[in-house]
Structure 1
Amino acid sequence: MTRAAARLSEPYDHAVIICQDLDAAVDNWKRLGFTLTPRGYHTLGSQNHCIMLARDYLELLHVTAPTPSRQYYWDAQQRGGGCAATSCKSRDAFATAARLREAGIERSEPIEFSRPVRLDDGSEHAATFRVTAVDGAPGARYFVCEHRTPELLWRPEWMAHANGATAIAAMYLVVPAEQVEAAGQTYARMTEGEMSPLRNGAVRVAIDDAELVVTSAAALAAQTGTAEIVREEPGYAAIRLRTADLAVARAHWRTAGVEARDLGPRDTLIPAHAANGVAMLFTQA
């Protein structure tokens, strides 16, 4: 099979990072060297800022009040935040929902929502989305997102970052050791990604040019390359980003007074307590 034939039709989309205080999070992630989109106000009752990368993004999300569609995120927010969900793109949320059902995956019906986006020229437009979610996915919520107006998000003025971030390379999901393989198989079915074994009993699910690493708490250090990332309960422990110039990123962090720990010539760690509850690994592209 050629690489082109093996690529997913629904590639990786974004990670959701829950923030108890969105104003403080904005200041924090700007210090980390990210450009943030203007604040968005969802029709579902949540607010966000996005960090747009070349093909995917990070979403800083805050829930103002619990509602049926936001209850999962509200509960995560009450527990302190962190990375609570991940998603893949969908060209048709209804078709993907049907595929998940046929694969035996219990999921929500697709819902449509929007938020206004103000562009640099002062004009305002509605960014619209359709999502279908799997709340019972191993470790954390998984969902698919159909972007109805991608041109309102992936804009040059929001895609250049002082830390050189260009793409999400990997997500690290912790589950109980005895559930790692089954969880990997579930994610492979949901994403249509290819699962392969890693050392220490972990597995990798290739999702287009990114990967989901499912691991136990005990094997987390072996997968991330550092014992400084620790997570005992199920959920996302770390996100690895590619950067176009790690040396420039390191210089920015020194100037901004950011706590950053170099793990070698090509990797730097931003600890979880400095990034709203999820460790950030930067790798030279």
Structure 2
Amino acid sequence: MTNRPTPGTHPLDHLVLPTGSLEVARARLSSLGFVVAPTGIHPFGTENCCVFLTDGTYLEPLAIGNEQAAINATAAGNVFVARDRLYRDSRGDEGFSAVVLGTDNADADHARFVDAGLSAGDMLSFSRAFTDTSGKSDTASFKLAFAATRGATDAFLFACQRINAPMVDRAALQAHANGASGILEVVAVSDQPAGQISLISAAVNDPTADGQGGAFLLPNATLSVLDPRSFTARFGFPVGSSTKLCFMAIVFAVRSIDATSSLLAANAIQHDIAGTDIVVRPASGQGAAFIFREIP
């Protein structure tokens, strides 16, 4: 395996973190030193409060804002809402349900997923309003194509084509007190890591990816799949119940590990040291383990 992604491999776009309450998520993420965007409302019952990073990736804490609208959307075949419900029914309202890859042709991705027997359902196109910290608004539009293995409820992946990117200034939303500038790695756990190669290689659009060493190289990050023992050895805490595939941790690049540690201590955030990393275990409103790593 080379140390570079195969040409054409999709980049990491964002991560979906289900939560029972955006208020709880906003408070938790703020205490971790992140700037949290104003609430965004989807037209199908869900809502979010995103954390945007300067590398172009972002976190999407996701809650149910309108239960009846979400029920109606699921009944109408909305895969995004249906997969969110499957995750919550399986693992509860707090967690890390999906890895999202950037694409410029979601239709082609959907066709590949169907051909590979990995499509999670119909594509989804939608628009929603986006507001920056100054109150300026624009419309964000997306087209999504979904991938998952048969019977999976703990995790899915999807390709996201940004049809219209909001013309707003995100600089203030990206100035995080903890110094986070981007996502270096996403870590998943599986009882059978090798069994996830076909799904992940299809989702990231790299048919040559073999997951050697548990790592799939993207243009802007690494997606790692570890067995439970390896995850615990690396990060210092157990993963819980067995799973085919579950996203568990996010590794962030920060400017100064000392500054990040001081901020966490000042905000009474319990954290551990694993080698040169700061590890903050999952909590309500956080969903995944957050790992902070200093990158010069």
TM-score (norm 2): 0.84
* 2:133 aligned with 1:116: no
Alignment of structure 1 residues 49-198 onto 2, 5 Å? 49-53=49-53, 54-64=55-65, 65=67, 66=71, 67-68=73-74, 69=78, 70-78=81-89, 79-136=92-149, 139-152=154-167, 155-176=170-191, 179-193=192-206, 194-198=209-213
Alignment of structure 1 residues 203-282 onto 2, 5 Å? 203-222=214-233, 225-234=234-243, 235-264=246-275, 266-273=276-283, 276-282=286-292
* 2:47 aligned with 1:47: yes
Shift of 1:128: 1.1
Q: Partner residue of 1:28?
A: 28
Q: What is the alpha-carbon distance in structure 2 between the residues aligned to residue 232 and residue 262 of structure 1?
A: 24
Does the 8 Å contact 2:100/2:158 carry over to 1? yes
Shift of 1:17: 0.5
Q: What is the alpha-carbon distance in structure 2 between the residues aligned to residue 61 and residue 268 of structure 1?
A: 25
Q: Tell me, what secondary structure is at the counterpart of 1:95?
A: helix
Q: What is the alpha-carbon distance in structure 2 between the residues aligned to residue 118 and residue 161 of structure 1?
A: 18
Q: Tell me, what secondary structure is at the counterpart of 1:171?
A: strand
Shift of 1:144: 0.8
Amino acid aligned to 1:170: E
Amino acid aligned to 1:207: L
Amino acid aligned to 1:239: I
Higher relative contact order structure (alpha carbons within 8 Å, sequence separation ≥ 6): 2
Shift of 1:160: 1.4
Q: What is the alpha-carbon distance in structure 1 between the residues aligned to residue 60 and residue 177 of structure 2?
A: 18
Distance 1:160 1:219, change over 3 A: same
* Number of aligned residue pairs: 276
Amino acid aligned to 2:289: A
Amino acid aligned to 1:281: I
Does the 8 Å contact 1:49/1:61 carry over to 2? yes
Amino acid aligned to 1:50: C
Q: Tell me, what secondary structure is at the counterpart of 1:195?
A: coil
Q: What is the alpha-carbon distance in structure 2 between the residues aligned to residue 163 and residue 260 of structure 1?
A: 14
Q: What is the alpha-carbon distance in structure 1 between the residues aligned to residue 212 and residue 4 of structure 2?
A: 23
TM-score (norm 1): 0.87
**5+ long unaligned stretches in structure 2:** none
Shift of 1:188: 1.4
**5+ long unaligned stretches in structure 1:** none
